[in-house]
């Protein structure tokens, strides 16, 4: 009986230990839109795994396993307020926001990054969509 219990614990330790040795990559950098830092937003990496991190004052940091990832960047600005409950004069207000990042950097992303184990640095210098001249 003792051997069975010891063998069981040994198997649990072995299973837990296998995940501990997997390499990680840390991606850091700056994100600008039209040469100005993205003040508040989100960066999302999608590949074999997916995760997201906050963008604060143009800087971000995200940890992922090494590999190639599609990158999506989102940020919005407040453009107004509206009542949470239409017709209720005592309704709390909720923000009306508008995305400031062009679709080619999020929904239809063209951005990619290839992460190696350890520290990685990549800045994203985004450009607003400019309407075509008529």
What's the pLDDT tens digit per position in 33-65?
Answer: 999 999 999 999 999 999 999 999 999 999 999
Terminal-residue alpha carbon distance, the chain:
84
Please tell me the predicted confidence (pLDDT) of residue 120: 98
pLDDT in tens, 61-99: 999 999 999 999 999 999 999 999 999 999 999 999 999
pTM attached to this predicted model? 0.75
Closest C-alpha among 75, 27, 19 to residue 47: 27
Assign 13 a pLDDT band (cuts: 50, 70, 90).
very low
């Amino acid at each position: 009986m003792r051997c069975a219990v010891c063998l069981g614990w040994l198997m649990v330790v072995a299973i837990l230990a296998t995940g501990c040795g997997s390499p990680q990559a840390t991606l850091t950098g700056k994100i600008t839109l039209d040469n100005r830092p993205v003040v508040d937003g989100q960066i999302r990496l999608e590949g074999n795994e997916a995760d997201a991190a906050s963008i604060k004052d143009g800087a971000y940091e995200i940890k992922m396993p090494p590999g190639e990832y599609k990158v999506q960047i989102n940020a919005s600005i407040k453009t107004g307020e509206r009542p949470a409950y239409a017709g209720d004069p005592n309704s709390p207000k909720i923000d009306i926001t508008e995305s400031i990042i062009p679709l080619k950097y999020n929904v239809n992303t063209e951005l990619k990054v290839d992460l190696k184990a350890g520290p990685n640095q990549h800045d994203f210098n985004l450009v607003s969509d400019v309407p075509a001249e008529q």
